[in-house]
Structure 1
C-alpha cells in the first residue's frame, strides 16, 4: 500500500517537470518571468538570506501587473537559494547567475511550473516541498513523544530518499545539485531534532536527554561551501548550534551570579575563543566571529568590549562578505546612542485614543516596555511605585508604560485591576492602526526593557536601569539637573 501511494504521488508530480532550455549568458544577472493563471495582480516578494542576521539579503517587493505577469532582473554574486512569496504562497528557488527562468503559477490549484534554465532544479524543490508538507503534518506538536517523533522522522526520511533517487534517475538533474539538495534535506532533519531538543529538554546537561537527540551536534556538517548558498535550513542549524551548544559552554557550570555577570561582560571574546578551539577552519572562524558579533550586538548593544571585538573583526576580515550585515547592526545601535533623537513611540490608550511620545516633550520620560504575561515585568511595578512617589507633583517627569500585549482586553483588564499603576499607558498591538514598533525601533530582544529620554526628546539610555536597581531616582535627577528631592504636593 505504501509503495503504491509513493508511486501515485510521483506519478502525479513528475508530469509537472519541464525540460530546460540552453544556459543563459555568462552574467551575474538572473532574469525571472512570473505568470499567474488566472491572471491576478498578486503581490510578489523575492529575497535571499543573509546568513548572519537571517534577514533578507537582496529583497525585491513588487506585484504582478493586470495581466498577471512580471519580469524581474536581479544581480547575484553566486548560485544561492531564494524564497519567492507570491500572494500567500511561498516557494524555495535555486538561482544561478545567468539563469533565465519562467515561473507559471496556477492560482486555482496553487501549483508552480518552471521553464528555462534551472527548471529541473526548481521543479525538484517544488515537488520535494510538496511531499515534505504532507509528511510534516503533526510533527511539530509539543506533546509528541520521542518514539513517535523519531518514527515519523524516519518514515519521512525513507519516503523523501526514494523520491530523491527516483528524480535523479528520471531527469537530468546534475550530480552536484543532487548532492546539494540532499544535504539541504538532511539539514532539515537535523533542525527537526534540534527543535525536539529545544522544546522538550533545552538544557544540554539534562541527564534525561536521549542519545539520539543529545548527539545532534556531532551530525552537523561544517562545510564552507554550504555557507555560500544562503540555505535557510543551514542557517537555522548553525544558530541552534551556537545558542544551545557553544554559548552555554562559555560559562562554568558552578559559576556564581557575580562570576557570571563578570564573565558576561567579556562574552564575545570568550565565545569566540571557545569556537576557535573547536573550528580551526578559516572560513568558519570568519563566519562564527561575525555571528558572535551580531549576537552580542543584538543582546547587549554597543559596550566597550563589543566595540573592541567589532574593531578586531574589521581588522582581521576587511573584505568579509559578512561585514555589511554586522555594520548594519552596529550602525543601528549607533543611532540609539546617548544624545541621538529618540524614535517616536506611538500607541493606543485604554480609551482608544492615539498617543505619541512627542506629546511628552519638555519632560524627562522613563519608558517601561512590558506585557501582562511577563512575570519579570510585573515584578518591577512595586519598585516603580516607590520611585514615582519621589516625583509626585513634578510635572517635569513622566512614566510611559508601553504594553506589547496582543490581547488588548487582557491589558485593559489588568489596568482596571491595578489602578495604582499610575502613568501614561499605551498598547502597541501590531494589528492596530497608528502604532509604531518599539521592538524594532529600539532593537528590543526581550522584556522588560527600560528607556530614559530627556526633555529635548534625546536618548539618555536605551537600556536604562530597572526600578528595582535602586539607582533609578538618581538617574532621573541627573537628567533633571537636581540633587534635592522634589517636595510632594
Structure 2
C-alpha cells in the first residue's frame, strides 16, 4: 500500500518537478553568458524576473544575479564606475534558505558565499579591499589581515543551519588557526561551533586544534623546548628571562625566510642599544643538515645574532609545542617568559611599532 502511495505521489509531482527543472536550466542558460558591463547583468536579471513565477525560482534568479555581479566586481577589482548601479539592483537573499542551499550545491558554494558577503559590505560603504574575502588565500590580491567583515561572516555562517557552509568553513578555521593562532576573534567562534555545528570527525579535529592553539595565546607561558647553539650549548627561552625576546623561526630551505632575514637583522640593529631586548633565530633544520645551517649563518651575515637550532637530543618538541606548520614565523615573548604573540608580523614597521609599545609598557 505504501509503495502505491509513493508511486502515485511521484506521478503527481513529476510534471511540476520537470517544469521546475526546465525553468532552472533556462535560468542557468541565460546567466551563462559573459557580461561586459553592469547594464548587461541588470538587463538579464530583469528579463528573467519577468519569466520566473515562483518564489523558489525568483530566489534562484537572485542567486545568479549575486554570483555574476560578484564575478564582475572581482574581475574589475572594484574599479568600474557602474558597480554602484549594480549594487542597487541586487536583491537580498538568505543563505539558509533551501533554494539558496540547492543553488550553492550546484554553483561553487565558497565563491558564491565570498561574493554574497563582499556585496553586503560594499552596500554598507566598505572599500573594495575591506569588503573582499580575507579568509581564503587569493592569487589575485596581496594577502591582508582578517577584518571585522571576515569575522562577521564566520560568525553568521556558524550561527546558521547551512551544513554545506559549516563543512567548508570548518576547514578554513584550521587554516586560520595555523596562520593566525587563536586570536580573540577566532576564540569567540568556538562556543558557536560547539553549539551550532553537527558532530563530525572534522568538528572534533577543529576543537582539538582550538585546545592546542589556546595554549599559545597571549599571556600563556612560552614552552621551554630544548635548543642548541653552534657550539652545542643547550638553551631554552628560560635562559633569556628578564628580557623581551624576539624570535625569527626559519629554515635554510625556505626562500622567504632568507629573503626576510636582512630586515630582521636591521631591526635587531635598531634596538642594539637597548639592554631590555634580545633577538634570536631558531632553525627547524634537521640534525643531518647542521653543516648547511652553519654555512647559511655566515652567508647571510647572521653572526651578530644568537642563532639556535632544534636540539637533536630527542627531548625537544619545539615544532609541536609551537604548532610550526610553516616558516618564517615570528615570536615575541615578554620579560616574564610569557607569550605576547607567536604569530607576530614580519620584521617591518608593524613589528617595530609592536616592539616599541611592548618596551614602553
Query: TM class by shorter-chain length?
Result: 0.5 to 0.7
Question: Deviation of residue 322 (structure 1)?
Answer: 5.0
**1:300 aligned to 2:183?**
no
CA distance in 2: counterparts of 1:307 and 1:263, whole angstroms: 14
**1:416 aligned to 2:298?**
yes
Question: What is the CA deviation profile of residues 86-115 of structure 1, one whole-angstrom value per residue up to 9, with x for unaligned ones?
Answer: xxxxxxxxxxxxxxxxxxxxxxxxxxxxxx
CA distance in 2: counterparts of 1:354 and 1:394, whole angstroms: 25
Aligned partner of 2:276 in structure 1 is 396
Aligned partner of 1:345 in structure 2 is 225
> What is the TM-score normalised by the length of structure 2?
0.54
Matched-pair contact (CA < 8 Å) for 1:266–1:305 = no
| 5+ residue gaps, structure 1 | 1-244, 483-489
Question: What is the CA deviation profile of residues 35-66 of structure 1, one whole-angstrom value per residue up to 9, with x for unaligned ones?
Answer: xxxxxxxxxxxxxxxxxxxxxxxxxxxxxxxx
SS state of the match for residue 187, structure 2? Answer: helix
CA distance in 1: counterparts of 2:197 and 2:167, whole angstroms: 10
CA distance in 2: counterparts of 1:479 and 1:347, whole angstroms: 25
**1:472 aligned to 2:358?**
no
Question: Deviation of residue 296 (structure 1)?
Answer: 2.7
> What is the TM-score normalised by the length of structure 1?
0.41
Greater RCO (Cα-Cα under 8 Å, separation 6 or more) = 2
Aligned partner of 2:78 in structure 1 is none
Matched-pair contact (CA < 8 Å) for 1:246–1:271 = no
**1:261 aligned to 2:144?**
yes
Give the RMSD, CA atoms, in angstroms: 3.7
**1:369 aligned to 2:252?**
no
Question: What is the CA deviation profile of residues 322-348 of structure 1, one whole-angstrom value per residue up to 9, with x for unaligned ones?
Answer: 544322211222211111111113222
More strand by share: 1
* Residue-pair matches, total: 230
CA shift in 2, pair 1:445/1:270, >3 Å: farther
1:114-263 to structure 2, matched below 5 A, reads 250=114, 255-257=140-142, 261=144
More helix by share: 2
Matched-pair contact (CA < 8 Å) for 1:363–1:454 = yes
CA shift in 2, pair 1:316/1:350, >3 Å: same
| 5+ residue gaps, structure 2 | 1-107, 115-131
CA distance in 1: counterparts of 2:139 and 2:345, whole angstroms: 27
